[in-house]
Amino acid sequence: MEECVGRAAEMGRPVLINMGQVEYSPIGVAAMSVMAYTAEMAAKKGAEIIVPISYAQIIPTVEGMLKSAFAAAGSPEGFRREEQIVYLSPDQWAFCTGCQALLESRKVATHTFIGHIGGSSMIIVETGARVGAVQVGGTTNLLQIPFFVAACDYTLIGEEVMVAGSYISGQPGALSQIAANDTFKLLAIVLTILGAALASVGSLALAKFLAT
Q: For 107-154, what is each residue's pLDDT tens digit?
A: 999 999 988 888 888 999 999 999 999 999 888 888 888 888 889 998
Q: Give percent above pLDDT 70 in the chain.
A: 83
DSSP lists the bridge partners of residue 202 as none
Parse the chain into domains and list their residue ranges.
Answer: 2-170, 172-212
Report the largest interatomic distance among the alpha carbons of the chain, rounded to a whole angstrom: 70
Instruction: Give residue-wise pLDDT tens across range 3-34.
Output: 889 989 999 999 999 998 988 888 888 888 88
Q: How many degrees, rounded to 5, is the angle at CA 15 between CA 13 and CA 16?
A: 125
pLDDT at residue 166 is higher than 80: no
Give the C-alpha separation, 116 to 19, whole Å: 7
Instruction: Return the DSSP state at 23.
Output: -
Q: Residue 184 to residues 103, 112, 181, 187, 196: CA-CA distances in angstroms?
A: 41, 31, 5, 5, 18
Domain range 2-170, its CATH number among 1.10.10, 3.40.1000, 3.40.30, 3.40.50: 3.40.50
Q: Which pLDDT value is given to residue 131?
A: 93
66-75, 80-89, 170-179, 198-207: lowest mean pLDDT where?
170-179
Across 51-72, average pLDDT: 93
